[in-house]
């Protein structure tokens, strides 16, 4: 009797996981990334507009056409194939565009903002803790990189310390955030962001309004800013940054996905969905909100540190409210809780306005219309989060 | 024999309003209590106090040897008190399994380490829990068991109620509080749900149940003993037949015109 309601869901034929299904998934993902690569590289307005049209068409088809829905279902059933193809595609794009400074800079920026969005995902999409100060924690990471970058501490450790620093600074906010809810908690974080920026502006040790220089990232003695060739190939010094940023995103992706597909993920979802039910069944609301908030800020801080090192400077303006809103927009536009969605949204929000430079002020109108259109037709984001399905883990498990 | 749950002088005041007035209620192991009373008589408040959502103003609450007076909801939940809610509190966009898992989370390994790195332990617990949830839901409706990883929102009202009961049972509680399980259901559905519950009851003879219900038929079928509340006071305690005949209960329900 209840079966009628259950019908339109994931494809039931996941048992028939032939190589064909995986191939279709891999082809779809590769095609999407190829489109993204072309968009990153495109310079003529015509190309950009055509790619945008293709992009809109793809997302419309995925929803409206049976084949599209089927492919989406297959992609959800084969996350391993999706992730592997995505990683290879990113490497291929990086290799193809190895000499393009600006394109690689954008690629790294997308990856680092997507990493920050992964932190926000833990906080907002899982635990339901609002954070309107993402850029502030991002800037904290960059300032730590500025302070410690030239001290001889290995830079990987500096990234880690930057994450810790952001988490520790988040502690200041923890009590008011735990004691308030919804809009009020959001206001607390907005106030924190404004406060931090004002503090950075008047603080001479941290360079005041001018900010500070940040030493470029070096990994095991390899200074990224001096890389000009790899083997026989001339490359941009942004190439190692783009790769490192993507690696950082991969790590954040791995951590978030692991948490999501564990009892911790169930606990966080319960705390967000229904605090009363969660506490009646023995969960500590404060513990889980605090865990998500601190871990999330740590991720944002690490991403901010690498971003600062790539740019070579950081100033109080990095902590502005607008950038915090950009991070949130990435989260919402992509679909709360879906990290691939965050990547696509980061491309939409960070790359498209740059690509439309030539039409000057009209670009913001086109950009705004695009965002409104996306949320009009896909109110839960470009790629809504899928329900957590543990069945794959149980079948392949230790039974 | 000492009772499983013993409340004495339990009082809950909201400002000037006394919602629970010096209640003495005890529930024995394996006993089923029907808790009735007009709207606003304090039945749900009693549940909310018992489960730690409200802090009682005075009195004593004892679950066997454990003092539960004014403890946090978390502590009480872990002590083995589980409940359902009058208005369904399922997470509708999450799977049936996620909803049921919530009922067991208090006893599972929730460390970040085993979530992130040492997944073996997590996977073992997961497999066990999936088996338990499957067995439990199958008893109520095999369709639920077959669709454990579908969103709870895609099920009918009666199935959602069943899922809520399974969520309360999965942690093997000692005391189960059911808040109007028949609310919003037809007579047939209510009867089916009660059949399931009675069948389940036989297999867990030690589980004590307190049931808030307006449906007198349900109370008659399922309860060993009835307690009637009115304005936060206990006005009756005894078997169902005596309840029906009781003058004061009739007055409380139907008004005291004559």
pLDDT tens, residue by residue, B15-50? 889 999 999 999 999 899 999 988 888 999 999 999
Per the prediction, chain A carries an average pLDDT of 86
Question: Are residues B165 and B180 part of one domain?
Answer: no
Q: Does residue A277 fall inside a structural domain?
A: yes
Residue A266 and residue B101: Cβ atoms within 8 Å? yes
C-alpha to C-alpha distance for B95 and B93, rounded to whole angstroms:
7
Residue in chain A nearest B48 by alpha carbon: A280
pLDDT of residue B255: 67
Lowest mean pLDDT, pick from A51-60, A113-122, A228-237? A228-237
pLDDT at A399 over 70: no
Show which of B171, B189, B216 is a domain's final residue.
Answer: B171
Nearest to B156 among A2, A387, A393 (CB): A2
pLDDT of residue A2: 41
Question: Are residues B185 and B246 part of one domain?
Answer: yes
In the Cβ-directed half-sphere of B174, how many Cα atoms lie within 13 Å? 17
Per the CB < 8 A criterion, the answer to whether A305 and A144 are in contact is: yes
Per the CB < 8 A criterion, the answer to whether A195 and A291 are in contact is: no
pLDDT of residue B81: 93
DSSP structural state of residue A351? I
Question: Are residues B16 and B58 part of one domain?
Answer: yes
Six-digit token string for B88 = 């369904």
Residue A280 and residue B83: Cβ atoms within 8 Å? yes
pLDDT of residue B174: 92
pLDDT at A127 over 90: yes
Q: How confident is the model at residue A132 (pLDDT cuts 50, 70, 90)?
A: very high
Question: Are residues B96 and B67 part of one domain?
Answer: no
Question: Are residues B237 and B180 part of one domain?
Answer: yes
Residue A279 and residue B52: Cβ atoms within 8 Å? yes
Average pLDDT rounded to a whole number, residues A67-80: 85
CA distance B171 to chain A (A): 9
pLDDT at A289 over 60: yes
pLDDT digits (tens, 9 = 90+) for A231-288: 777 778 888 899 999 999 999 999 999 999 999 999 999 999 999 999 999 899 999 9
Instruction: Tell me the chain B residues in contact with residue A6 when contact means C-beta distances shorter than 8 Å.
Output: 147, 150, 154-155
Per the CB < 8 A criterion, the answer to whether B105 and A288 are in contact is: no
Number of domains chain A contains:
1
Six-digit token string for A342 = 């965050």
Nearest to A264 among B94, B110, B147 (CB): B110
Q: Does residue A167 fall inside a structural domain?
A: yes
Residue A388 and residue B95: Cβ atoms within 8 Å? yes
Number of domains chain B contains:
2
Residue in chain B nearest A272 by alpha carbon: B91
Instruction: Identify the CATH number of the domain in which residue B48 sits.
Output: 3.40.50.300
Between A115 and A217, name the one with better pLDDT.
Answer: A115
pLDDT of residue A165: 95
Q: Where are the alpha helices (DSSP H) in B12-90?
A: 43-50, 73-79
pLDDT of residue A56: 83
Q: Which B-chain residues 63-102 have CB contacts (< 8 A) with chain A? A: 72-74, 76-78, 82-83, 85, 89, 91, 93-95, 97-98, 101-102
ipTM: 0.90
Question: Are residues B258 and B207 part of one domain?
Answer: yes
Question: Are residues B154 and B50 part of one domain?
Answer: no
Residue ranges of chain B whose pLDDT lies below 50 = 257-258
pLDDT digits (tens, 9 = 90+) for A349-381: 888 888 877 766 776 777 778 778 877 888 888
pLDDT at A159 over 90: yes
pLDDT of residue A4: 41
- Cα-atom radius of gyration of chain B, to the nearest Å? 19
Question: Are residues B165 and B102 part of one domain?
Answer: yes
C-alpha to C-alpha distance for A329 and A334, rounded to whole angstroms:
8
pLDDT digits (tens, 9 = 90+) for A381-398: 888 888 888 888 886 543
DSSP structural state of residue A225? G
Show which of B138, B171, B204 is a domain's final residue.
Answer: B171
Residue A263 and residue B126: Cβ atoms within 8 Å? yes
Question: Are residues B188 and B69 part of one domain?
Answer: yes
- B115 in contact with chain A, both atoms CB, cutoff 8 A: yes
Domain interval for residue A114: 100-339
- B109 in contact with chain A, both atoms CB, cutoff 8 A: yes
Average pLDDT rounded to a whole number, residues A305-319: 91
pLDDT digits (tens, 9 = 90+) for A329-345: 899 889 899 999 999 99
Q: In what order do the strands lie in the sheet with B175-179?
A: B81-83, B175-179, B208-212, B32-36, B225-230, B233-238
| Binding-site residues on chain A for chain B (CB distance < 8 A) | 1-3, 5-6, 9, 255, 258-259, 262-267, 269-270, 273-274, 276-284, 291, 387-391, 393-394, 397-399
Q: Does residue A314 fall inside a structural domain?
A: yes
pLDDT of residue A219: 81
Q: Residues of chain A with pLDDT > 90: what percent?
A: 41
Show which of B135, B154, B171 is a domain's final residue.
Answer: B171
pLDDT at A17 over 70: no
Torsional sign, CA A119, A124, A129, A135: positive
Q: Name every residue whose Cβ is closer than 8 Å to that of residue A62 and which is 6 or more positions away in sequence.
A: A68, A69, A71, A72
pLDDT at A32 over 70: yes
Mutation site for B-interface testing, chosen from A281, A284, A384 by largest number of B Cβ within 10 Å: A281
pLDDT at A198 over 80: yes
Instruction: Tell me the chain B residues in contact with residue A276 when contact means C-beta distances shorter than 8 Å.
Output: 53, 85, 89
Give the residue among B189, B105, B92 at the shortest CA–CA distance from B150. B92
Question: Are residues B191 and B151 part of one domain?
Answer: no
pLDDT of residue B258: 43
Q: Does residue A5 fall inside a structural domain?
A: no
Domain interval for residue B216: 1-80+173-258
Between A380 and A108, name the one with better pLDDT.
Answer: A108
Collapsing DSSP to helix, strand or coil, A52 comes out as helix
Nearest to A269 among B91, B109, B127 (CB): B91
Question: Are residues B10 and B132 part of one domain?
Answer: no
pLDDT at A1 over 50: no
Q: Does residue A233 fall inside a structural domain?
A: yes
Best-predicted range by mean pLDDT among A41-55, A293-307, B1-15, B17-31?
Answer: A293-307
Question: Are residues B99 and B109 part of one domain?
Answer: yes
């Amino acid at each position: 009797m209840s079966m009628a309601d259950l019908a339109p869901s994931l494809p039931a034929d996941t048992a028939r996981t032939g190589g064909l299904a995986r191939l279709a998934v891999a082809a779809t993902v590769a095609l999407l990334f190829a489109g993204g690569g072309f968009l990153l590289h495109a310079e003529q307005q015509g190309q950009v507009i055509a790619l945008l049209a293709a992009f809109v068409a793809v997302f419309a088809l995925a929803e409206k056409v049976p084949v599209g829905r089927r492919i989406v279902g297959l992609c959800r059933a084969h996350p391993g194939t999706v992730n592997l193809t995505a990683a290879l595609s990113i490497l291929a794009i990086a290799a193809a565009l190895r000499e393009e400074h600006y394109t690689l800079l954008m690629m790294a920026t997308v990856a680092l903002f997507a990493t920050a969005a992964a932190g926000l995902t833990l906080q907002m999409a899982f635990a339901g803790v609002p954070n309107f100060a993402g850029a502030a924690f991002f800037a904290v990471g960059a300032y730590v990189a500025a302070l410690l970058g030239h001290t001889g501490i290995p830079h990987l450790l500096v990234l880690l310390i930057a994450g810790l620093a952001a988490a520790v600074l988040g502690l200041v906010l923890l009590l008011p955030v735990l004691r308030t809810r919804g809009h009020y908690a959001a206001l607390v974080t907005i106030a924190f962001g404004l406060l931090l920026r004002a503090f950075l502006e008047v603080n001479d040790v941290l360079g005041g309004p001018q900010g500070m220089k940040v030493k470029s990232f070096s990994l095991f003695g390899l200074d990224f800013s001096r890389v000009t060739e790899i083997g026989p190939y001339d490359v941009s010094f942004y190439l190692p940054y783009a790769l490192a940023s993507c690696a950082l995103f991969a790590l954040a992706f791995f951590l978030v996905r692991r948490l999501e597909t564990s009892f911790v993920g169930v606990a966080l979802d319960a705390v967000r969905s229904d605090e009363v039910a969660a506490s009646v069944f023995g969960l500590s609301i404060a513990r889980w909100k605090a865990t998500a908030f601190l871990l999330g800020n740590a991720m944002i801080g690490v991403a901010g540190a690498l971003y600062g090192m790539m740019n070579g400077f950081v100033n109080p303006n990095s902590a502005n409210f607008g950038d915090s809103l950009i991070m949130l927009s990435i989260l919402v536009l992509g679909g709360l809780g879906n990290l691939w969605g965050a990547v696509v949204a980061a491309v939409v929000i960070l790359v498209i306005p740059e690509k439309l430079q030539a039409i000057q002020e009209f670009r913001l109108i086109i950009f705004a219309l695009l965002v409104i259109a996306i949320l009009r037709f896909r109110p839960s984001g470009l790629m809504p989060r899928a329900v957590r399905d543990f069945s794959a883990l149980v079948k392949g498990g230790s039974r | 024999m000492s009772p499983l749950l013993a409340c004495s002088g339990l009082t809950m005041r909201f400002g000037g309003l006394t919602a629970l007035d010096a209640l003495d209620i005890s529930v024995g192991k394996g006993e089923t209590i029907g808790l009735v009373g007009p709207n606003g008589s304090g039945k749900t408040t009693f549940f909310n106090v018992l489960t730690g959502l409200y802090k009682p103003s005075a009195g004593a609450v004892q679950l066997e040897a454990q003092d539960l007076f004014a403890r946090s909801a978390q502590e009480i939940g872990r002590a083995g008190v589980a409940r359902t809610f009058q208005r369904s509190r399922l997470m509708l966009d999450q799977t049936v399994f996620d909803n049921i898992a919530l009922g067991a989370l208090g006893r599972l390994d929730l460390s970040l380490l085993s979530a992130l790195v040492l997944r073996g332990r997590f996977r073992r617990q997961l497999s066990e829990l999936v088996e338990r949830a499957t067995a439990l839901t199958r008893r109520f409706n095999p369709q639920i068991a077959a669709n454990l990883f579908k969103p709870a929102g895609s099920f009918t009202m009666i199935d959602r109620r069943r899922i809520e009961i399974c969520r309360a049972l999965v942690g093997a509680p000692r005391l189960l509080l059911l808040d109007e399980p028949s609310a919003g259901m037809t007579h047939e559905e209510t009867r089916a749900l009660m059949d399931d519950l009675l069948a389940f009851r036989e297999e867990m003879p030690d589980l004590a149940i307190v049931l808030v219900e307006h449906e007198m038929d349900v109370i008659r079928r399922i309860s060993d003993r009835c307690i009637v509340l009115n304005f936060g006071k206990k006005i009756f305690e005894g078997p169902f037949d005596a309840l029906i005949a009781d003058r004061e209960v009739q007055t409380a329900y139907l008004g005291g015109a004559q």
